Each structure stands twice: as C-alpha cells, then as structure tokens.
Amino acid sequence: MSHIVGIDLGTTNSLIGIMDSGFPILLADSEGFRLTPSIVHFPASGEPLVGRAAGRMKAIAPERTVFSVKRLMGIRQGETEKDHFPFQVVEAQGKAGIVIDDRRFTPEEVSSFILRKLKSDAEKAMGESITRAVITVPAYFNDLQRQATKRAGEAAGLTVERIINEPTAAALAYGLDRLKDRSKIAVYDLGGGTFDISILELNEGVFRVLSTNGNTRLGGDDIDRDLVRLLEERITARHPEIRYELKDPLFAARLRELAHDAKLRLSEEAAVQIEIPFLPGNRRFSYLLSRQELEAITRPIIRRTRSHCLRSIDDAKVAPRDLDEVILVGGVTRMPIVRQLVAEIFQRLPNTSQNPDEAVAIGATIQAGIISGEIQSVVLLDVTPLSLGVETFGGLMNVIIPRNTTIPCRAGEMFTNAVANQRSMRIKVLQGERELAKDNWELGSFEIEFAPVPKGVARVGIQFEIDADGILHVLARDTNTGKEHVLDLASAVDVSDEAVEQMIAESLDHAFDDMSERIWTETSIKSNELLPAVKSALTLVGDQVTEESRQEIEALVSAVAEALESKNIQRLKAANAALDQGTQHLATLLIDRAMAEAEKRRTDR
C-alpha cells in the first residue's frame, strides 16, 4: 500500500507532509519551500501555474490569477462575494464558477490544480507515486464544503482517505509528544479566510473534541481588504484627482500586495514606510503606516471571534480557567493584537510553541499515519460542528443530530404520513443552528414513496449517518415492507425561492412612491427617538459629565429640533449624526450604569 500524505489546503498557503520513520515531516518543492501559495495563474494558453510562480502574476495579470479559492468552495447562491475578487466570479445553478477568458472553472477544479502540484512535488521528493491523502478543512465547514474538498482531491488523482478538521489537526501536532498527558486545550485558528475555535480533551492518546465553532468567512483577507481601503483613503486625501484611477485593476492588485506585506511586517515592526512609486499619473506616494493604525482596523474584525469562543466554551461546558493551554494556529495569530485578544478571552497567555503555518499540515500527516497504522497509540474523536435536522410542520427545524456530537455517529427518526392515503412525503434535510428551517443551510431533500394508508399508519425510518469525514449519508427504511435504500440528497438549490424573496423585499422598498418622502420619514423617526433618549440619558447620568459637555449636548439637541422644523433632509441627517456623535460618552456611561444595576440585582437576590 502506498504512503498516505497529509495536506493542508489553506486559503493562503498549502502544505504537504508524509510520515518518515514514525515522525511527520513536511515536504519541500524543488526550490526548497514547504509553503506553496494557494494561487493559480491561467495563462492565455498552456498549463496553469501554481504557487510562487502564480503569485508573481497576481499584480501583473490579476484577472487571470486566482487566489483564496477556498472562500468559494461549496458555497450556495447568494453567498458569493463576487465583488471582492479581481478575477471574474459567476453564479450558475446555485454554484460559484470562475471565468478566465472563455473557460469556466469550478472552485473544486481550481483547488485540484493546487493539489496536483503538491502531489507532484511530493512524488519528486519521495521518488514514489502518491495516490492517497488526508486533506484538512475548517472545522466549521458544512457538508457541501466538505464534499467539494473531497471532489477537489479526487480530481487531482488522489483517494481522499479522510477529511480532517484543521484545529483538530493542530491539536494532534501539539499533542503528539504529550501522549501520556491528560489535559484540556483550546485551539484558536485564524487563517486567511476562515476562523475556527475548538476545545479538546487529551486523554492518554485519545484526542476528543468537546466543541467547535467558527466562521468560514472571517480571516486575514478581511484585514487586507480594510487596509487597502485605508491606504486608498490616504492616497485620495493627498491626491484627490486620481480617486477613480485607484480602481484600475492593475493598480488595485499591486496595492493589495503592498498592504498584505505591510501587515506582515507590522507584526515585528512598530511602523513601516509604504512607498508607491507607481501611482497613476506618474505620482509618488510615501506614507508611514503605524501598527496602531493597522490595529484600529483589525480590532473590529478580530473582535468577531469573541462570540464564537464564548459559544464554544459554553458548549464544551468548561470554564476558561479549566483549560491548560490555548494554541494559536494560522499566520494572522502572529499579530500582537490577536494574541492580546486571545489572552483576554481565555484569561491566559496563549501557547505559541506550534509553528502557526505548519501545525495543521503536520497534524494531517499524523492522521495519515494513524490511518496507515504507522501511529498506533493515538485516536482522534472529532465532532460535527453544525446541528443536523429536518424541516417539520410550521417551518421549524427539528434537530436529529445536535452540533458537537462525536463522529462517526448515527441517529434515526421515524416519520409517518400526516394525511390519509398520502403516497409520498418530502423530507428536507437541514444543517445549522437557527430555529426556522429557512434560516439554515439546506443539504438537500428527497421523496419517500409508500403505499396509501390511513393517517399516522405509515412507518418510514430515516437513518442519518455522519461519517468520519463529517459528511452525511441518509438511509431510508420502510418498516412496513422492510425495504431499504440509500438516499441521494438532491443538491440543487431551489433557485426560485431566493428570487421570490428578493422580489418581495424590493417591492416593499418601492412602496413609497416619493423616495425623498421615505427618507424624510425615516430620518425624522430617528430624531424623535433620539431627542427623548438624550433627555432620559441626561437625567440618569448627566451628573457624571461636565457642565461644558452638557451645554454642548443641549446645543446639538436644539440643532435637531430646528432641523425638524426646516424640513430639510440633509440638515436633519447632519444634525442627527452630530447629536449621535456628541453623545457617545453618555452611551458608555449608560452601559456602565446598566451593568452596575445588574450586578446589584444579582447580589440582592
């Protein structure tokens, strides 16, 4: 049997590793690099370029150089971030597609080019054919995204032996030389495009995931995007005349590279000098970007990870103080501000002993070793991250396998007919945490047919099985006839539902014939909410602000009252905004007060 490789198919970089004499090692390409940028360049003719060579084309031919394709894997209609990419992304039949010249590629196909290069590099390094692999995915990837990843592997000529979650892989890398230990750890994995938090229990070689949570649309790419915006503002401030030329795709691509590099350097340095000698119109631009400025835009993005961490902690039923370590994974965790946030959430300094770029690939390789039998003493018990269920009467979601259930697992549910002589029923399978069926991801639906019987008599058992890859298989069993069959989840999304919802939303928007009347109404409603709120705030916490401050606020209040009289939309909007801005400190005082009261209520109980 051939060796099984471990592959980290990352948003920004991909890596491949193999077991060598009981140790996981990462393989390098012909230039000696273990990291292969997840970039694919499609020249006008000839084979696509993958990796560093493709990376060099990003700023030269941005419309035919695909990066962060992981963000497009397995996503549904309406989820495509078409505008964020310089290459053309389209939607057809509910799936994303990438268009280069007149060729269309699925995200799986593009990913398979990356996998093919990794496979080829490994074969050169090992001098043998590589056909089997373990590939990693974000823990929070849903069923469709996992299937897409598996297909990408198969298209690259690999048998995908296992799909494994990235934070779990990182935990394996951390725990491989701590197999006698018993401990509880958290893995905070913030990569280029995705965020995962997992909490695991290590128990003498058994790695058991207690809970996992995350966001598959949150990562370093978002920081890059906001940094680019900041630089565009700075450039425009100095050279307003070239504002529109900044949108030129070539310039935008070069600016993106610059921003990305500056971000990396600011993890080590307090400030970096940004030089743009290639500004449109032969201008130069020079700017000293400080770490503080970067942190100001980074903070709101990474703060979004906090709620996922809190949920994961809650689901695992552990308190932060019960954890022994918090492991950091993903290049973005090199940023000091990220480390501070993690320390604050988990009330301990994070463990930075793992190489944040390589830990996941090492873990995938270890899993490969477990499957091939080279590593005997380790077992990985992962979980499914999202609840699985079916739609029931009233449009609700009925959970059949709750999130964070250890996999592989199975659960059955009995269905019966709601109406006499019903010949079939439609079962819609959903994945997600929302109470309403329509707010969750639909994995597919199927029809079950049965002989006509009175209401409540048909007995069809549906068995839901989640395999070790976290992918769902459904089996139906008519208990009256004993017949069993495997069900194919129809994966096409019902396009017309989406279109109908969009139409309804639009028609409500256009209910007001006079657009300006609608805006005036909205703006004055806001004023009429703000004015009493300010009055009430001053009563509650007015004694905590200076007299000068009070007078300023009174003046802003008068400005709003006058603007209401004037019936001038712009004036009222500006007055509202000024009052809002001018009362932010009151807002903070109010929140402090509310917290203090809550505390008092708690202690009085």
Partner 1 sequence: MTDFFAVFGLQPRPVIDVALLSNLFASKSKSVHPDHGADGDFATLNEAFQTLAHPVTRVWHLLALSGGEAKPTSARAEVNAWFGQVANSLQRFDQMLQPLSQETSSLLRAIKIGEGQVLVDELEKLSEDLGAEKQGLLEALAQIDARWPSDLAADRSALAQIACDLRFVEKWLAQIAERRLRFQELL
Binding positions for partner 1, rule: CB under 8 A = 203-206, 208, 306-307, 310-311, 314, 367, 370-371, 376-377, 379-381, 405-411, 465, 468, 526, 529-530, 533-534, 536-537, 580, 583-584, 586-588, 590-591, 593-595, 597-598, 601-602, 605
> Residues 6 or more apart from 558 whose CB is under 8 A from it?
none
- If you ran DSSP here, which 8-state letter would residue 48 be given? P
With respect to partner 1, which residue has the nearer C-beta, 25 or 531?
531
Place of tokens 């070689």: 205
Per the residue annotation, which of 29, 108, 189, 222 is the catalytic one? 189
What SS3 state is found at 141? coil
Which residue type is seen at 238?
A: R
Tell me how many degrees the CA angle 567-568-569 measures, rounded to the nearest 5. Answer: 110
Respond yes or no: is residue 8 known to be catalytic.
yes
* Least Cβ distance, residue 451 to partner 1 (angstroms): 27
* Least Cβ distance, residue 376 to partner 1 (angstroms): 8
With respect to partner 1, which residue has the nearer C-beta, 269 or 314?
314
Per the residue annotation, which of 70, 95, 150, 263 is the catalytic one? 70
Respond yes or no: is residue 314 known to be catalytic.
no
* Least Cβ distance, residue 540 to partner 1 (angstroms): 9
* Least Cβ distance, residue 536 to partner 1 (angstroms): 7
CA dist 412 to 415, 437, 478, Å?
10, 19, 13
With respect to partner 1, which residue has the nearer C-beta, 507 or 581?
581
First to last CA, the chain: 67
What is the rounded distance in angstroms from the CA atom of residue 263 to the CA atom of residue 260? Answer: 5
Omega within 30 of 0 (cis) for the link into 408: yes
| Backbone φ and ψ of 358, nearest 5° | -110, -15
> 427, exposed or middle or buried, with CB in 10 Å at 0-12, 13-18, 19+?
buried
* Least Cβ distance, residue 577 to partner 1 (angstroms): 9
* Least Cβ distance, residue 587 to partner 1 (angstroms): 4
Angle of helix 515-541 relative to helix 547-566, nearest 10 degrees? Answer: 160
> 486, exposed or middle or buried, with CB in 10 Å at 0-12, 13-18, 19+?
exposed
* Least Cβ distance, residue 20 to partner 1 (angstroms): 20
With respect to partner 1, which residue has the nearer C-beta, 254 or 526?
526
With respect to partner 1, which residue has the nearer C-beta, 249 or 456?
456
Per the residue annotation, which of 8, 161, 196, 357 is the catalytic one? 8
With respect to partner 1, which residue has the nearer C-beta, 126 or 468?
468
> Residues 6 or more apart from 72 whose CB is under 8 A from it?
80, 89, 96, 98, 107
- If you ran DSSP here, which 8-state letter would residue 438 be given? G
Place of tokens 């945490």: 433
With respect to partner 1, which residue has the nearer C-beta, 273 or 376?
376
Radius of gyration of the chain (CA): 28
Per the residue annotation, which of 108, 109, 143, 166 is the catalytic one? 166
Catalytic (active-site) positions: 8, 70, 166, 189
